[in-house]
Amino acid sequence: MVDKFFRSIIETSGESKTLTGSQSPEELLQWMNNNLTYLGENKKRLYLPEEVIDKKKGHCWEVADLTYHELVAMGYVCYLLYLEDEGCKQTHTTLIYFDSDKYFWFEWAWGKNEGIHGPFKTKEDVVKLVIAKFKKQYLTIERAKLGHGRIKPNMTERDYILMVDRWKNVLSS
């Protein structure tokens, strides 16, 4: 059962249509593949979803935020999962969404894991899989945080990390 708090996010978000015209997660993934390029570089501020679309590129944090915007507009409950290796050399943000009593992992910016994975019985099952894949590729994992938060105008990378700090720790000891 999805927590009432997260359901209320959809109902009060004020978002009613997608920016990409996509009608489903599958259409959104296809749209992203046809229209976006991954941009893994530091910037003074992070792009908002409209800027990702306009510039046709974005970092995983920004593309996950665009995905969050689009899927919430379609009526899905979404969670962002942030991962970081030891020393913060590698970070990644991806998205989990809930549909018809099942969870799915939506991945666009992590090349070899691109796609919509699932269904999963619980979001914890998705989190465990994503953490295992991150640890296998980068050998270490120092932080894994699950939560909700949107990129705001003029948000810096540091601001993003401070936002993530407030999310739930999902890394088991």
Which residue ranges make up each domain of the chain? 4-10+19-169
Polymer length of the chain: 173
Q: What local confidence, expressed as pLDDT, does residue 134 receive?
A: 96
Residue 118 CB neighbour total at 10 angstroms: 17
* CA distances (Å), origin 157, targets 2, 31, 76, 151, 154: 30, 26, 26, 10, 10
Q: Which of 160, 164, 60 is nearest to 110 (CA)?
A: 60
pLDDT tens digit sequence for 80-96: 999 999 887 889 999 99
- Of the CATH numbers 3.40.50, 3.30.310, 1.10.357, 3.10.620, which one belongs to the domain with range 4-10+19-169? 3.10.620
pLDDT tens digit sequence for 47-105: 999 999 999 999 999 999 999 999 999 999 999 999 999 887 889 999 999 999 999 99
3 state DSSP class of 117? strand
Angle separating helix axes 60-73 and 25-35, nearest 10 degrees:
140
**pLDDT score of 13 more than 80:** no
Q: Is 46 exposed, middle or buried (0-12, 13-18, 19+ CB in 10 A)?
A: buried
